[in-house]
Structure 1
Protein backbone atom coordinates (compact mmCIF):
# COMPACT_ATOMS: atom_id res chain seq x y z
CA UNK A 1 0.00 0.00 0.00
CA UNK A 2 1.27 3.46 -0.91
CA UNK A 3 1.32 5.96 1.97
CA UNK A 4 1.57 9.71 1.47
CA UNK A 5 2.64 12.04 4.26
CA UNK A 6 2.40 15.34 2.39
CA UNK A 7 0.38 17.06 -0.32
CA UNK A 8 3.30 17.36 -2.76
CA UNK A 9 3.99 13.63 -3.11
CA UNK A 10 0.28 12.75 -3.24
CA UNK A 11 -0.49 15.41 -5.86
CA UNK A 12 2.43 14.24 -7.99
CA UNK A 13 1.17 10.65 -7.73
CA UNK A 14 -2.38 11.37 -8.93
CA UNK A 15 -1.61 14.26 -11.27
CA UNK A 16 -2.72 17.35 -9.36
CA UNK A 17 -0.99 20.74 -9.32
CA UNK A 18 1.90 21.21 -6.94
CA UNK A 19 0.60 22.68 -3.65
CA UNK A 20 1.41 26.29 -2.74
CA UNK A 21 1.34 25.59 1.00
CA UNK A 22 2.24 22.66 3.26
CA UNK A 23 -0.85 23.01 5.47
CA UNK A 24 -3.66 23.80 3.06
CA UNK A 25 -4.14 22.99 -0.61
CA UNK A 26 -7.10 23.92 -2.82
CA UNK A 27 -7.67 23.08 -6.45
CA UNK A 28 -9.73 21.66 -9.28
CA UNK A 29 -9.61 18.16 -10.74
CA UNK A 30 -8.43 17.61 -14.31
CA UNK A 31 -9.32 13.92 -14.90
CA UNK A 32 -7.87 13.51 -18.41
CA UNK A 33 -4.44 14.32 -16.93
CA UNK A 34 -4.91 12.40 -13.69
CA UNK A 35 -4.40 8.87 -12.43
CA UNK A 36 -7.78 7.20 -12.95
CA UNK A 37 -6.93 3.76 -11.57
CA UNK A 38 -4.89 3.29 -8.43
CA UNK A 39 -3.47 0.71 -6.09
CA UNK A 40 -4.52 0.93 -2.41
CA UNK A 41 -3.38 4.21 -0.83
CA UNK A 42 -3.40 5.98 2.52
CA UNK A 43 -2.85 9.68 3.25
CA UNK A 44 -1.61 11.20 6.49
CA UNK A 45 -3.74 14.33 6.17
CA UNK A 46 -7.37 15.35 5.63
CA UNK A 47 -9.09 15.60 2.24
CA UNK A 48 -12.50 16.95 1.28
CA UNK A 49 -13.22 16.00 -2.31
CA UNK A 50 -16.22 17.15 -4.36
CA UNK A 51 -16.71 15.05 -7.48
CA UNK A 52 -19.42 15.86 -10.01
CA UNK A 53 -20.81 12.99 -12.14
CA UNK A 54 -18.08 10.56 -11.18
CA UNK A 55 -18.51 6.96 -12.35
CA UNK A 56 -16.88 4.21 -10.31
CA UNK A 57 -15.84 1.35 -12.62
CA UNK A 58 -15.18 -0.97 -9.68
CA UNK A 59 -18.95 -1.12 -8.98
CA UNK A 60 -20.73 -2.99 -11.81
CA UNK A 61 -23.53 -1.07 -13.55
CA UNK A 62 -23.09 1.92 -11.25
CA UNK A 63 -24.49 5.27 -12.33
CA UNK A 64 -22.47 8.50 -12.05
CA UNK A 65 -22.91 10.33 -8.74
CA UNK A 66 -22.20 13.81 -7.45
CA UNK A 67 -20.96 13.78 -3.88
CA UNK A 68 -18.53 14.95 -1.22
CA UNK A 69 -15.97 12.36 -0.13
CA UNK A 70 -13.67 12.45 2.89
CA UNK A 71 -10.26 11.03 3.65
CA UNK A 72 -8.55 11.33 7.00
CA UNK A 73 -5.20 10.18 8.44
CA UNK A 74 -4.84 6.40 8.75
CA UNK A 75 -7.94 5.84 6.62
CA UNK A 76 -6.86 3.48 3.85
CA UNK A 77 -8.50 3.34 0.45
CA UNK A 78 -7.97 -0.41 0.50
CA UNK A 79 -9.23 -1.04 -3.01
CA UNK A 80 -7.80 2.10 -4.57
CA UNK A 81 -10.04 3.61 -7.22
CA UNK A 82 -11.05 3.12 -10.83
CA UNK A 83 -13.05 6.00 -12.34
CA UNK A 84 -14.00 7.37 -15.74
CA UNK A 85 -12.18 10.55 -16.88
CA UNK A 86 -15.47 12.37 -17.39
CA UNK A 87 -16.09 13.92 -13.97
CA UNK A 88 -15.29 17.41 -12.73
CA UNK A 89 -14.72 18.64 -9.22
CA UNK A 90 -12.69 20.33 -6.53
CA UNK A 91 -10.58 19.34 -3.56
CA UNK A 92 -9.43 20.77 -0.26
CA UNK A 93 -6.49 19.24 1.59
CA UNK A 94 -5.67 20.06 5.21
CA UNK A 95 -2.70 19.04 7.32
CA UNK A 96 -3.14 17.55 10.78
CA UNK A 97 -1.34 20.62 12.10
CA UNK A 98 -3.86 23.09 10.73
CA UNK A 99 -6.76 20.98 11.97
CA UNK A 100 -5.37 20.94 15.51
CA UNK A 101 -4.56 24.66 15.51
CA UNK A 102 -8.06 25.55 14.27
CA UNK A 103 -10.12 22.74 15.71
CA UNK A 104 -13.08 25.04 16.39
CA UNK A 105 -13.51 25.47 12.62
CA UNK A 106 -13.91 21.81 11.86
CA UNK A 107 -16.67 19.31 12.43
CA UNK A 108 -16.65 15.64 13.23
CA UNK A 109 -17.48 14.29 9.78
CA UNK A 110 -13.91 14.51 8.52
CA UNK A 111 -13.82 10.76 9.21
CA UNK A 112 -17.11 9.96 7.45
CA UNK A 113 -15.15 8.49 4.55
CA UNK A 114 -15.38 5.17 6.37
CA UNK A 115 -19.15 5.19 6.06
CA UNK A 116 -20.85 7.28 3.43
CA UNK A 117 -20.45 10.01 0.86
CA UNK A 118 -22.55 13.17 1.01
CA UNK A 119 -24.71 13.18 -2.13
CA UNK A 120 -25.29 16.68 -3.47
CA UNK A 121 -28.22 18.30 -5.26
CA UNK A 122 -27.59 20.66 -8.19
CA UNK A 123 -28.30 23.66 -5.98
CA UNK A 124 -25.84 22.43 -3.37
CA UNK A 125 -23.17 21.95 -6.05
CA UNK A 126 -23.67 25.57 -7.11
CA UNK A 127 -23.29 26.80 -3.53
CA UNK A 128 -20.14 24.79 -2.92
CA UNK A 129 -18.68 25.83 -6.28
CA UNK A 130 -19.19 29.51 -5.43
CA UNK A 131 -17.34 29.07 -2.13
CA UNK A 132 -14.54 27.17 -3.86
CA UNK A 133 -14.02 29.98 -6.34
CA UNK A 134 -13.40 32.34 -3.44
CA UNK A 135 -11.16 29.81 -1.70
CA UNK A 136 -9.01 29.42 -4.82
CA UNK A 137 -8.83 33.21 -5.20
CA UNK A 138 -7.41 33.70 -1.72
CA UNK A 139 -5.31 30.54 -1.86
CA UNK A 140 -3.47 31.93 -4.89
CA UNK A 141 -3.14 35.38 -3.29
CA UNK A 142 -0.59 36.72 -0.84
CA UNK A 143 -0.03 34.87 2.46
CA UNK A 144 -1.52 37.84 4.32
CA UNK A 145 -4.95 36.64 3.17
CA UNK A 146 -4.53 33.26 4.90
CA UNK A 147 -7.11 34.16 7.57
CA UNK A 148 -9.64 34.99 4.83
CA UNK A 149 -8.95 31.64 3.18
CA UNK A 150 -9.57 29.87 6.49
CA UNK A 151 -12.84 31.73 6.91
CA UNK A 152 -14.04 30.38 3.57
CA UNK A 153 -12.93 26.90 4.60
CA UNK A 154 -15.21 27.37 7.62
CA UNK A 155 -18.07 28.40 5.31
CA UNK A 156 -17.54 25.24 3.25
CA UNK A 157 -17.53 23.10 6.38
CA UNK A 158 -20.76 24.75 7.57
CA UNK A 159 -22.42 24.09 4.22
CA UNK A 160 -21.40 20.44 4.35
CA UNK A 161 -22.87 20.18 7.85
CA UNK A 162 -26.20 21.58 6.62
CA UNK A 163 -26.21 19.23 3.63
CA UNK A 164 -25.50 16.22 5.86
CA UNK A 165 -28.46 17.14 8.04
CA UNK A 166 -30.56 17.25 4.89
CA UNK A 167 -29.28 13.81 3.86
CA UNK A 168 -29.96 12.35 7.30
CA UNK A 169 -33.53 13.70 7.18
CA UNK A 170 -34.26 12.69 3.60
CA UNK A 171 -34.00 8.95 4.21
CA UNK A 172 -34.35 8.21 7.94
CA UNK A 173 -35.01 4.50 7.33
CA UNK A 174 -31.40 4.13 6.22
CA UNK A 175 -30.22 5.23 9.67
CA UNK A 176 -32.80 3.42 11.81
CA UNK A 177 -30.61 0.29 12.13
CA UNK A 178 -27.83 2.45 13.59
CA UNK A 179 -30.11 3.97 16.23
CA UNK A 180 -31.68 0.59 17.01
CA UNK A 181 -28.27 -1.08 17.20
CA UNK A 182 -26.96 1.60 19.54
CA UNK A 183 -29.96 1.29 21.85
CA UNK A 184 -29.80 -2.51 21.86
CA UNK A 185 -26.07 -2.45 22.57
CA UNK A 186 -26.77 -0.21 25.57
CA UNK A 187 -29.20 -2.80 26.93
CA UNK A 188 -26.83 -5.67 26.18
CA UNK A 189 -23.98 -3.92 27.97
CA UNK A 190 -25.68 -4.28 31.34
CA UNK A 191 -26.81 -7.84 30.71
CA UNK A 192 -23.31 -8.91 31.69
CA UNK A 193 -20.96 -8.12 34.59
CA UNK A 194 -19.24 -4.78 33.92
CA UNK A 195 -16.00 -3.29 35.18
CA UNK A 196 -16.32 0.21 33.75
CA UNK A 197 -18.84 2.70 32.47
CA UNK A 198 -19.75 2.40 28.79
CA UNK A 199 -18.47 5.08 26.43
CA UNK A 200 -19.26 6.18 22.89
CA UNK A 201 -16.18 4.50 21.42
CA UNK A 202 -17.26 1.13 22.82
CA UNK A 203 -20.61 1.26 21.01
CA UNK A 204 -19.05 2.65 17.84
CA UNK A 205 -16.67 -0.33 17.77
CA UNK A 206 -19.60 -2.69 18.35
CA UNK A 207 -21.42 -1.22 15.35
CA UNK A 208 -18.34 -0.95 13.15
CA UNK A 209 -18.55 2.85 13.00
CA UNK A 210 -16.36 5.73 14.04
CA UNK A 211 -17.35 7.48 17.27
CA UNK A 212 -17.93 10.80 15.49
CA UNK A 213 -20.20 9.27 12.87
CA UNK A 214 -22.23 7.37 15.45
CA UNK A 215 -22.47 10.48 17.61
CA UNK A 216 -23.74 12.65 14.76
CA UNK A 217 -26.38 10.12 13.70
CA UNK A 218 -27.59 9.65 17.29
CA UNK A 219 -27.68 13.42 17.89
CA UNK A 220 -29.65 14.04 14.70
CA UNK A 221 -32.35 11.48 15.44
CA UNK A 222 -32.63 11.68 19.25
CA UNK A 223 -31.78 15.38 19.75
CA UNK A 224 -29.26 14.27 22.37
CA UNK A 225 -25.60 13.37 22.03
CA UNK A 226 -24.55 9.73 22.21
CA UNK A 227 -22.96 10.45 25.59
CA UNK A 228 -26.18 12.03 26.88
CA UNK A 229 -28.06 8.92 25.75
CA UNK A 230 -25.57 6.75 27.61
CA UNK A 231 -25.90 8.86 30.75
CA UNK A 232 -29.71 8.68 30.56
CA UNK A 233 -29.52 4.90 30.34
CA UNK A 234 -27.07 4.65 33.24
CA UNK A 235 -29.41 6.78 35.38
CA UNK A 236 -32.34 4.57 34.38
CA UNK A 237 -30.41 1.47 35.47
CA UNK A 238 -29.33 3.19 38.69
CA UNK A 239 -32.94 4.03 39.55
CA UNK A 240 -34.00 0.44 38.87
CA UNK A 241 -31.29 -0.91 41.19
CA UNK A 242 -32.11 1.60 43.94
CA UNK A 243 -35.84 0.82 43.68
CA UNK A 244 -35.76 -2.95 43.22
CA UNK A 245 -32.62 -4.03 45.10
CA UNK A 246 -33.12 -2.41 48.45
CA UNK A 247 -30.45 -4.63 50.00
CA UNK A 248 -27.79 -2.94 47.87
CA UNK A 249 -26.24 0.24 49.21
CA UNK A 250 -25.11 3.15 46.98
CA UNK A 251 -21.54 1.85 46.83
CA UNK A 252 -22.67 -1.56 45.57
CA UNK A 253 -24.95 0.09 43.01
CA UNK A 254 -22.02 2.19 41.82
CA UNK A 255 -19.81 -0.87 41.28
CA UNK A 256 -22.67 -2.75 39.63
CA UNK A 257 -22.95 0.04 37.04
CA UNK A 258 -19.23 0.17 36.36
CA UNK A 259 -18.25 3.23 38.37
CA UNK A 260 -14.70 3.01 39.62
CA UNK A 261 -15.31 5.41 42.50
CA UNK A 262 -18.62 5.36 44.47
CA UNK A 263 -18.36 9.06 45.33
CA UNK A 264 -18.27 9.87 41.59
CA UNK A 265 -21.48 7.87 41.16
CA UNK A 266 -23.16 9.87 43.94
CA UNK A 267 -22.11 13.18 42.35
CA UNK A 268 -23.15 12.00 38.88
CA UNK A 269 -26.54 10.79 40.13
CA UNK A 270 -27.27 13.99 42.03
CA UNK A 271 -26.32 16.13 39.05
CA UNK A 272 -28.66 14.18 36.78
CA UNK A 273 -31.57 13.60 39.18
CA UNK A 274 -31.28 16.41 41.71
CA UNK A 275 -31.15 13.96 44.60
CA UNK A 276 -28.43 11.77 46.07
CA UNK A 277 -28.91 7.99 45.62
CA UNK A 278 -29.86 7.72 49.30
CA UNK A 279 -32.38 10.58 49.02
CA UNK A 280 -33.86 9.09 45.85
CA UNK A 281 -34.35 5.69 47.50
CA UNK A 282 -35.91 7.27 50.59
CA UNK A 283 -38.30 9.32 48.45
CA UNK A 284 -39.24 6.26 46.38
CA UNK A 285 -39.78 4.11 49.48
CA UNK A 286 -41.96 6.78 51.08
CA UNK A 287 -44.34 6.62 48.12
CA UNK A 288 -44.94 2.87 48.54
Structure 2
Protein backbone atom coordinates (compact mmCIF):
# COMPACT_ATOMS: atom_id res chain seq x y z
CA UNK A 1 0.00 0.00 0.00
CA UNK A 2 1.27 3.46 -0.90
CA UNK A 3 0.78 6.36 1.51
CA UNK A 4 1.18 9.92 0.23
CA UNK A 5 1.81 12.70 2.72
CA UNK A 6 2.14 15.62 0.30
CA UNK A 7 0.71 16.88 -2.98
CA UNK A 8 4.03 16.72 -4.84
CA UNK A 9 4.61 12.98 -4.43
CA UNK A 10 0.98 12.14 -5.12
CA UNK A 11 0.87 14.29 -8.25
CA UNK A 12 4.05 12.64 -9.52
CA UNK A 13 2.49 9.22 -8.92
CA UNK A 14 -0.63 10.17 -10.90
CA UNK A 15 1.13 12.12 -13.61
CA UNK A 16 -0.36 15.48 -12.63
CA UNK A 17 1.29 18.90 -12.74
CA UNK A 18 3.61 19.85 -9.89
CA UNK A 19 1.64 21.74 -7.21
CA UNK A 20 2.26 25.48 -6.93
CA UNK A 21 1.62 25.45 -3.18
CA UNK A 22 1.97 22.98 -0.29
CA UNK A 23 -1.45 23.73 1.23
CA UNK A 24 -3.77 24.24 -1.78
CA UNK A 25 -3.51 22.57 -5.16
CA UNK A 26 -5.99 23.07 -7.99
CA UNK A 27 -5.79 21.50 -11.41
CA UNK A 28 -7.31 19.73 -14.40
CA UNK A 29 -6.90 16.06 -15.28
CA UNK A 30 -5.01 14.95 -18.39
CA UNK A 31 -6.05 11.25 -18.52
CA UNK A 32 -3.97 10.13 -21.55
CA UNK A 33 -0.82 11.17 -19.67
CA UNK A 34 -1.92 9.94 -16.24
CA UNK A 35 -1.82 6.70 -14.30
CA UNK A 36 -5.06 4.89 -15.13
CA UNK A 37 -4.58 1.91 -12.80
CA UNK A 38 -3.23 2.00 -9.26
CA UNK A 39 -2.55 -0.11 -6.20
CA UNK A 40 -4.05 0.43 -2.74
CA UNK A 41 -3.39 4.01 -1.58
CA UNK A 42 -3.97 6.49 1.23
CA UNK A 43 -3.41 10.26 1.26
CA UNK A 44 -2.70 12.42 4.29
CA UNK A 45 -4.70 15.38 3.03
CA UNK A 46 -8.17 16.22 1.71
CA UNK A 47 -9.03 15.76 -1.93
CA UNK A 48 -12.11 16.68 -3.99
CA UNK A 49 -12.11 15.13 -7.45
CA UNK A 50 -14.65 15.84 -10.18
CA UNK A 51 -14.64 13.31 -13.00
CA UNK A 52 -16.83 13.70 -16.07
CA UNK A 53 -17.86 10.59 -18.02
CA UNK A 54 -15.43 8.29 -16.22
CA UNK A 55 -15.63 4.51 -16.76
CA UNK A 56 -14.47 2.48 -13.75
CA UNK A 57 -13.31 -1.00 -14.78
CA UNK A 58 -13.47 -2.26 -11.17
CA UNK A 59 -17.28 -2.07 -11.09
CA UNK A 60 -19.90 -4.19 -12.80
CA UNK A 61 -21.46 -1.10 -14.33
CA UNK A 62 -19.31 -0.03 -17.26
CA UNK A 63 -21.49 2.99 -18.08
CA UNK A 64 -19.74 6.39 -17.84
CA UNK A 65 -20.57 8.38 -14.70
CA UNK A 66 -20.05 11.99 -13.74
CA UNK A 67 -19.46 12.50 -10.04
CA UNK A 68 -17.55 14.17 -7.22
CA UNK A 69 -15.26 11.84 -5.27
CA UNK A 70 -13.64 12.54 -1.92
CA UNK A 71 -10.45 11.41 -0.22
CA UNK A 72 -9.51 12.28 3.33
CA UNK A 73 -6.69 11.36 5.74
CA UNK A 74 -6.79 7.73 6.89
CA UNK A 75 -9.25 6.74 4.15
CA UNK A 76 -7.89 3.67 2.39
CA UNK A 77 -8.75 3.16 -1.27
CA UNK A 78 -8.51 -0.65 -1.01
CA UNK A 79 -8.43 -1.62 -4.67
CA UNK A 80 -6.99 1.60 -6.01
CA UNK A 81 -8.63 2.42 -9.31
CA UNK A 82 -8.72 1.21 -12.88
CA UNK A 83 -10.33 3.69 -15.25
CA UNK A 84 -10.54 4.32 -18.96
CA UNK A 85 -8.30 7.32 -19.86
CA UNK A 86 -11.16 9.05 -21.67
CA UNK A 87 -12.75 11.20 -18.96
CA UNK A 88 -12.38 14.90 -18.17
CA UNK A 89 -12.15 16.48 -14.78
CA UNK A 90 -10.58 18.67 -12.17
CA UNK A 91 -9.34 18.37 -8.62
CA UNK A 92 -8.83 20.37 -5.46
CA UNK A 93 -6.38 19.29 -2.76
CA UNK A 94 -6.31 20.81 0.73
CA UNK A 95 -3.75 20.18 3.45
CA UNK A 96 -4.79 19.36 7.01
CA UNK A 97 -3.16 22.64 8.00
CA UNK A 98 -5.41 24.73 5.73
CA UNK A 99 -8.48 22.91 7.08
CA UNK A 100 -7.43 23.57 10.68
CA UNK A 101 -6.77 27.25 9.98
CA UNK A 102 -10.06 27.72 8.13
CA UNK A 103 -12.57 25.54 9.93
CA UNK A 104 -15.50 26.99 7.98
CA UNK A 105 -14.18 25.04 4.99
CA UNK A 106 -14.46 21.74 6.79
CA UNK A 107 -17.98 20.84 5.86
CA UNK A 108 -19.00 17.29 6.61
CA UNK A 109 -18.82 16.24 2.96
CA UNK A 110 -15.04 16.05 3.00
CA UNK A 111 -15.20 12.66 4.74
CA UNK A 112 -17.94 11.18 2.53
CA UNK A 113 -15.37 9.28 0.44
CA UNK A 114 -15.93 5.97 2.19
CA UNK A 115 -19.71 6.13 1.71
CA UNK A 116 -20.84 7.52 -1.61
CA UNK A 117 -19.86 9.72 -4.50
CA UNK A 118 -21.93 12.77 -5.46
CA UNK A 119 -23.48 12.19 -8.88
CA UNK A 120 -23.82 15.38 -10.89
CA UNK A 121 -26.36 16.63 -13.40
CA UNK A 122 -25.18 18.50 -16.51
CA UNK A 123 -26.26 21.80 -14.99
CA UNK A 124 -24.33 21.06 -11.79
CA UNK A 125 -21.22 20.21 -13.81
CA UNK A 126 -21.46 23.62 -15.50
CA UNK A 127 -21.75 25.39 -12.14
CA UNK A 128 -18.77 23.56 -10.64
CA UNK A 129 -16.71 24.08 -13.81
CA UNK A 130 -17.36 27.83 -13.66
CA UNK A 131 -16.14 27.97 -10.06
CA UNK A 132 -13.03 25.94 -10.97
CA UNK A 133 -12.17 28.38 -13.75
CA UNK A 134 -12.21 31.21 -11.24
CA UNK A 135 -10.17 29.17 -8.74
CA UNK A 136 -7.55 28.44 -11.40
CA UNK A 137 -7.37 32.12 -12.29
CA UNK A 138 -6.36 33.06 -8.76
CA UNK A 139 -4.27 29.93 -8.20
CA UNK A 140 -2.06 30.39 -11.27
CA UNK A 141 -1.63 34.17 -11.06
CA UNK A 142 1.80 35.38 -9.97
CA UNK A 143 0.27 37.45 -7.19
CA UNK A 144 -1.76 34.63 -5.73
CA UNK A 145 -4.68 35.99 -3.71
CA UNK A 146 -5.41 33.22 -1.23
CA UNK A 147 -8.32 35.06 0.40
CA UNK A 148 -10.16 35.10 -2.93
CA UNK A 149 -9.10 31.50 -3.64
CA UNK A 150 -10.41 30.37 -0.25
CA UNK A 151 -13.68 32.16 -0.93
CA UNK A 152 -14.15 30.21 -4.15
CA UNK A 153 -13.27 26.97 -2.36
CA UNK A 154 -16.02 27.78 0.13
CA UNK A 155 -18.41 28.38 -2.78
CA UNK A 156 -17.44 25.00 -4.27
CA UNK A 157 -18.07 23.15 -1.01
CA UNK A 158 -21.36 25.00 -0.53
CA UNK A 159 -22.43 23.81 -3.98
CA UNK A 160 -21.50 20.26 -2.99
CA UNK A 161 -23.70 20.65 0.09
CA UNK A 162 -26.66 21.76 -2.02
CA UNK A 163 -26.13 18.99 -4.58
CA UNK A 164 -25.95 16.32 -1.88
CA UNK A 165 -29.30 17.46 -0.52
CA UNK A 166 -30.69 17.05 -4.02
CA UNK A 167 -29.19 13.55 -4.23
CA UNK A 168 -30.65 12.57 -0.84
CA UNK A 169 -34.11 13.68 -2.00
CA UNK A 170 -33.89 11.99 -5.40
CA UNK A 171 -33.78 8.44 -4.03
CA UNK A 172 -34.98 8.45 -0.40
CA UNK A 173 -35.33 4.66 -0.30
CA UNK A 174 -31.56 4.40 -0.51
CA UNK A 175 -31.22 6.32 2.77
CA UNK A 176 -34.35 5.44 4.74
CA UNK A 177 -32.78 2.29 6.15
CA UNK A 178 -29.97 4.38 7.66
CA UNK A 179 -32.48 6.50 9.57
CA UNK A 180 -34.45 3.40 10.61
CA UNK A 181 -31.31 1.54 11.72
CA UNK A 182 -30.17 4.59 13.71
CA UNK A 183 -33.51 4.92 15.50
CA UNK A 184 -33.60 1.18 16.22
CA UNK A 185 -30.06 1.34 17.59
CA UNK A 186 -31.17 3.95 20.13
CA UNK A 187 -34.01 1.67 21.23
CA UNK A 188 -31.65 -1.31 21.45
CA UNK A 189 -29.19 0.72 23.51
CA UNK A 190 -31.82 1.48 26.13
CA UNK A 191 -33.20 -2.06 26.16
CA UNK A 192 -30.14 -3.03 28.20
CA UNK A 193 -28.54 -1.64 31.36
CA UNK A 194 -26.58 1.51 30.50
CA UNK A 195 -23.71 3.24 32.25
CA UNK A 196 -23.46 6.40 30.16
CA UNK A 197 -25.33 8.59 27.72
CA UNK A 198 -24.75 7.53 24.11
CA UNK A 199 -23.39 10.00 21.57
CA UNK A 200 -23.62 10.21 17.79
CA UNK A 201 -20.18 8.64 17.32
CA UNK A 202 -21.30 5.54 19.24
CA UNK A 203 -24.19 4.89 16.84
CA UNK A 204 -22.10 5.79 13.79
CA UNK A 205 -19.57 3.14 14.82
CA UNK A 206 -22.36 0.61 15.32
CA UNK A 207 -23.67 1.29 11.81
CA UNK A 208 -20.24 1.43 10.17
CA UNK A 209 -20.60 5.08 9.15
CA UNK A 210 -18.79 8.31 9.91
CA UNK A 211 -20.56 10.54 12.42
CA UNK A 212 -20.79 13.35 9.87
CA UNK A 213 -22.42 11.17 7.23
CA UNK A 214 -24.90 9.66 9.68
CA UNK A 215 -25.73 13.09 11.06
CA UNK A 216 -26.35 14.58 7.63
CA UNK A 217 -28.64 11.74 6.54
CA UNK A 218 -30.62 11.86 9.78
CA UNK A 219 -30.91 15.67 9.67
CA UNK A 220 -32.09 15.61 6.05
CA UNK A 221 -34.87 13.09 6.65
CA UNK A 222 -35.99 13.96 10.20
CA UNK A 223 -35.31 17.73 10.18
CA UNK A 224 -33.49 17.19 13.47
CA UNK A 225 -29.84 16.51 14.17
CA UNK A 226 -28.77 13.03 15.21
CA UNK A 227 -28.07 14.37 18.71
CA UNK A 228 -31.56 15.90 18.89
CA UNK A 229 -33.00 12.51 17.93
CA UNK A 230 -31.04 10.89 20.76
CA UNK A 231 -32.19 13.57 23.21
CA UNK A 232 -35.82 13.14 22.12
CA UNK A 233 -35.64 9.44 22.90
CA UNK A 234 -33.94 10.05 26.26
CA UNK A 235 -36.71 12.48 27.23
CA UNK A 236 -39.37 10.01 26.09
CA UNK A 237 -37.80 7.24 28.19
CA UNK A 238 -37.37 9.62 31.14
CA UNK A 239 -41.08 10.50 31.06
CA UNK A 240 -41.99 6.81 30.97
CA UNK A 241 -39.80 6.03 33.99
CA UNK A 242 -41.07 9.01 35.98
CA UNK A 243 -44.73 8.11 35.41
CA UNK A 244 -44.72 4.32 35.22
CA UNK A 245 -42.08 3.50 37.82
CA UNK A 246 -42.85 5.63 40.85
CA UNK A 247 -40.54 3.55 43.05
CA UNK A 248 -37.57 5.19 41.34
CA UNK A 249 -36.59 8.61 42.63
CA UNK A 250 -35.23 11.17 40.15
CA UNK A 251 -31.63 10.30 40.99
CA UNK A 252 -32.28 6.65 40.15
CA UNK A 253 -34.05 7.66 36.94
CA UNK A 254 -30.98 9.69 35.99
CA UNK A 255 -28.70 6.68 36.50
CA UNK A 256 -31.10 4.42 34.58
CA UNK A 257 -30.73 6.75 31.59
CA UNK A 258 -26.94 6.86 31.77
CA UNK A 259 -26.49 10.28 33.36
CA UNK A 260 -23.38 10.42 35.49
CA UNK A 261 -24.64 13.38 37.52
CA UNK A 262 -28.31 13.61 38.61
CA UNK A 263 -28.12 17.41 38.61
CA UNK A 264 -27.25 17.36 34.92
CA UNK A 265 -30.27 15.16 34.25
CA UNK A 266 -32.54 17.65 36.05
CA UNK A 267 -31.14 20.59 34.06
CA UNK A 268 -31.37 18.62 30.79
CA UNK A 269 -34.98 17.61 31.50
CA UNK A 270 -35.99 21.14 32.50
CA UNK A 271 -34.48 22.56 29.32
CA UNK A 272 -36.37 20.08 27.13
CA UNK A 273 -39.72 19.95 28.96
CA UNK A 274 -39.85 23.28 30.84
CA UNK A 275 -40.50 21.30 34.04
CA UNK A 276 -38.16 19.61 36.50
CA UNK A 277 -38.46 15.82 36.71
CA UNK A 278 -40.24 16.15 40.06
CA UNK A 279 -42.66 18.74 38.67
CA UNK A 280 -43.40 16.55 35.65
CA UNK A 281 -44.07 13.54 37.85
CA UNK A 282 -46.40 15.49 40.16
CA UNK A 283 -48.25 16.97 37.20
CA UNK A 284 -48.70 13.51 35.66
CA UNK A 285 -49.99 12.13 38.96
CA UNK A 286 -52.49 15.00 39.28
CA UNK A 287 -53.82 14.36 35.77
CA UNK A 288 -54.45 10.74 36.65
Please indicate the TM-score interval, normalised by the length of the shorter structure.
over 0.9
C-alpha contact 2:32 2:85 (8 A) present in aligned 1: yes
Q: Offset at 1:141?
A: 1.5
TM-superposed deviation, 1:143: 4.6
Partner of 1:242: 242
Q: Which residue of 2 aligns with 1:84?
A: 84
CA deviation after TM superposition for structure 1 residue 109, in Å: 1.0
Which structure 1 residue ranges, 4+ long, deviate > 3 Å from structure 2? none
Tell whether 2:123 aligns with 1:129: no
Query: Counterparts of 1:87-102 in structure 2 under 5 Å?
Result: 87-102=87-102
Contact 2:201–2:210, Cα closer than 8 Å, also in 1: yes
State the secondary structure of the residue aligned to 1:53: strand
Mapped pair 1:174 → 2:181: no
Equivalent residue for 1:189? 189
Offset of residue 59 of structure 1 = 1.2
Paired residues in the alignment total: 288
- Structure 1 unaligned residues grouped into runs of 5+: none
Per the normalisation by structure 2, the TM-score is: 0.99
| Counterparts of 1:230 and 1:59, CA distance in 2 | 37
**Which residue is 2:19 aligned to?**
19
For residues 130 and 23 of structure 1, the distance between their equivalents in structure 2, rounded to whole angstroms, comes to 22
TM-fit CA distance, 1:106: 2.8
Q: Distance in 1 between matches of 2:125 and 2:185?
A: 38
Residue 176 of structure 1, CA deviation: 0.6
* C-alpha distance after superposition, 1:31-77 (max 9, x if no partner): 11111000000000000000000000011342110000000000010
Q: Deviations over 1:222-268 (max 9, x none)?
A: 00000011011100000000010001001100110001111111111
- CA shift in 2, pair 1:47/1:286, >3 Å: same
- Superposition RMSD on alpha carbons, in Å? 0.8
Kindly indicate whether the alpha-carbon contact (under 8 Å) linking 1:26 and 1:93 is maintained by their aligned counterparts in 2.
yes
Residue aligned with 1:16, SS: coil
User: Are 2:53 and 1:75 aligned?
Assistant: no
Contact residue 138 and residue 144 of structure 2 kept, 8 A: no
Is the CA contact 1:106–1:154 (under 8 Å) kept in the aligned structure 2? no
Instruction: Structure 2: state its 5+ residue gaps.
Output: none
1:54-69 equivalences under 5 Å are 54-69=54-69
Partner of 2:211: 211
Length-normalised TM-score, structure 1: 0.99
Corresponding residue for 2:202? Answer: 202
Which residue of 2 is the match for residue 153 of structure 1?
153
Q: Which residue number corresponds to residue 281 of structure 1? A: 281
1:105 maps to: 105
**Inter-partner Cα distance in structure 2 for 1:220 and 1:77:** 27
Could you say if the C-alpha distance between residues 247 and 5 of structure 1 is closer, same or farther in structure 2, counting changes exceeding 3 Å? same
Deviation at 1:105, TM superposition (A): 2.7
Aligned to 2:227: 227
